Amino acid sequence: MATTTQALAQRLGKNLGGYFGEAIDIPAVLSEVRRLAVATGWHVEPLSAGPELELLALRRVPATPTRRIYISAGIHGDEPAGPLAVLELLRANQWPECAEIWLCPCLNPTGFPLNKRESAAGVDLNRDYRHLRAPEIRAHVTWLERQPPMDLSLCLHEDWEAHGFYVYELNPAGRPSLAEPIVRAVSRVCPIDSSALIDGREARDGIIRPHLDPALRPEWPEALYLITHKTRQSYTLEAPSDFPLAIRVAALVAGTAAAVQHAC
Ligand SMILES: [Zn+2]
């Protein structure tokens, strides 16, 4: 076990100044996501964001749902673990019966072929939720506006600067926190970033609880849109992309599964 733990704890040291790791074949991943979703009873709704630009929205409706949960991934095209984690979660198909789930597996389908953060048009889509300039985000928000309020939202990301997994919590109503259960579950498969400062923010044991006033932020990430319009509890899960891809995928799978289980 010692060698496994040591291997897990090692950064690769190749992602300096940006992400230079594995890319994914996003059309192939999304086609498998769609196939698995249909096979396991999800509703599949393609959202048109323009000519030849389509986003996928999935919805799971169990017999007796009591919690509405929103999950998104793949808004940054250099963060492949998110869409791959969605694929793994669909493959495992271990969702609790309480959970009605809305799932967007990839919000930036043009960024992945370039293995870069922005869309092919050069837009950081995760800064566009206040002004809605990009067609992807207009299509996404138009769809979100048609959905009911959510009990919980989870956004799956990666960070090449991180020394381990960490999570942002937005919980303005002070509901029972899911941050600790998320970090506990992830710690079994991936190192946690224990830095006191992550991404310029105060952090403790891999948890950042930023004090954010959306009104004061000129550009909104998806999580700020969600906390303003859709939910009172939001988590942004960040896998460390200077680690092997399999570990990052396992981290996002474990964190997402733990959050969904604890929300029920
Ligand atoms: Zn990201």
* pLDDT average, residue stretch 62-75: 96
Please give the distance, rounded to the nearest whole angstrom, from the Cα atom of residue 64 to the centre of ligand 1.
Answer: 33
Question: What per-residue confidence (pLDDT) applies to 12?
Answer: 86
Question: What per-residue confidence (pLDDT) applies to 59?
Answer: 98
Please give the distance, rounded to the nearest whole angstrom, from the Cα atom of residue 158 to the centre of ligand 1.
Answer: 5
Instruction: For residue 8, name the pLDDT band (cuts at 50, 70, 90).
Output: low
Question: What per-residue confidence (pLDDT) applies to 3?
Answer: 45
Q: Quick: pLDDT tens for 98-135.
A: 999 999 999 999 999 999 999 999 999 999 999 999 99
Please give the distance, rounded to the nearest whole angstrom, from the Cα atom of residue 41 to the centre of ligand 1.
Answer: 29
Q: Quick: pLDDT tens for 163-194.
A: 999 999 999 999 999 999 999 999 999 999 99
**CA–CA separation, 59 and 120 (whole Å):** 27
Question: What per-residue confidence (pLDDT) applies to 252?
Answer: 98
Question: What per-residue confidence (pLDDT) applies to 9?
Answer: 66
Please give the distance, rounded to the nearest whole angstrom, from the Cα atom of residue 36 to the centre of ligand 1.
Answer: 25
Least Cα distance to 180 among 123, 130, 255 occurs for 255
Residue 93 scores a pLDDT above 80: yes
**CA–CA separation, 39 and 49 (whole Å):** 25
* pLDDT average, residue stretch 230-245: 97
**CA–CA separation, 156 and 72 (whole Å):** 6
